[in-house]
Structure 1
Amino acid sequence: MARTRWQDLSPRRRCVIIVGGALEGALKVAALADLARRPAAEVRGSKVWWAVAIALINSVGAVPIAYFVYGRQPRS
């Protein structure tokens, strides 16, 4: 099976890939910024491990969303 090249994709598929990548990047930046500002007492688990997971796992947004939903504790 031949590999599909970027030039072979339809303009709509290219747009979907670009928008998806931008959204994932924005989620990662938002999650990392929140994690950096939030005190360790307000994070479930290790801040270092959350940062590594958010930054390195290619997750289609799943890890940043998991951080926002499960990783943060309510502010007191």
Structure 2
Amino acid sequence: MARKKSWRDMSTGQRVMLMISGAVNLTLLIAAQRSLAKTPEAQIRGKKVLWRAASFINFFGPVSYFLFGRRRDSGLVTAKR
């Protein structure tokens, strides 16, 4: 079994990619949490508390919330006849 690399064992490119992926993950988490706080319960599929918990799963939680957790109106206004 290969041992985990420490910070010192990583190349500069690996360190940069790790920091970028961490920043993206944190940004997605903050965006999902903020959206959950501002969005009414009626516009969210499922319970807010479950989406809050799921958003802490690296990358997949926040992305899942934005793709599947929010209800989207079609945005089309139908004309009355």
TM-score by length of 2: 0.82
Identity of aligned residues (%): 34
Q: Which has the higher contact order (CA 8 A, sep 6+)?
A: 1
Gaps of 5+ in 2: 76-81
Number of residue equivalences: 73
- The match for 2:69 among 50, 65, 71 is 71
Take 1:24 and 1:3, find their aligned partners in 2: how far apart are those partners? 21
Q: Identify if the C-alpha distance between structure 1 residues 62 and 3 changes in structure 2 by more than 3 Å, giving closer, same or farther.
A: closer
TM-score by length of 1: 0.87
Offset of residue 6 of structure 1: 0.6
Output the CA distance in 2 between the equivalents of 1:53 and 1:2: 29
Computed over aligned residues only, the root mean square deviation of the Cα atoms, in angstroms, reads 1.5
Greater C-alpha Rg? 2
**Structure 1: 4+ residue segments shifted above 4 A:** none
Gaps of 5+ in 1: none
CA distance in 2, matches of 1:48, 1:72: 13
Q: Using the alignment, how far apart are the partners of 2:65 and 2:42 within structure 1?
A: 15
Letter of the structure 2 residue corresponding to residue 25 of structure 1: L
